[in-house]
Amino acid sequence: MLVLMITYSVVARKLFNAPLGLTLELSEYAMLAFVFLPLAWIQAQKGHIRIDLITSRLSARKQTFLEIFVSVIGLVFFAILAWKSWEIAWKSYELGLRSATSLRVPLFLPQAIVPIGSFLICLQFLLAIPRDIRSLVGRKSVVAKLGEEPGHSSLSQEG
């Protein structure tokens, strides 16, 4: 839809000198949504860009430590972004600010996309951090058990 709207606007401007006036505003709102709303889903799928050049050379344990560290940094960054962008959207709502175009869109609507997307990715980080910590602890206990000699398990055996 966005592509059609932009294409129509370009053609109308070139051929008829009459572009669709709302194209810029609507495409800006759409781009904001395209960037922020899928962030959490992409994070859940582990689809964000990763640089494997260094991490592929790390042990699984170190990769998990790095994953936790990056998740904590991401959580802090997006929590601050959610908080500050929410303040901006709320202020726009309180003041009744609207776009200066013929659409007169209440500005808090497109502005709310940023804190919503940021909050959702924060939830993903909050799910990932404990999961990765459990993985790290579980991996450590598996390694410790594998190091035991056969027949000398620390688990009590009946019999």
DSSP tag of 106: B
pLDDT per residue as tens digits for the range 45-96: 988 877 778 888 888 888 899 999 999 999 999 999 999 999 999 999 999 9
CA angle 145, 61, 57 (to 5 degrees): 130
Residues 6+ apart with CB under 8 A from 64: 132, 135, 136, 139
Helix (H, G, I), strand (E, B), or coil: what is residue 98? Answer: strand
The residue type of 18 is A
Beta strands in 35-106 (DSSP E): none
For 119-149, write each residue's pLDDT tens digit: 999 999 999 999 999 988 886 654 444 455 4
Domain chopping of the chain, boundaries:
38-143
Cross-strand partners of 98: 106
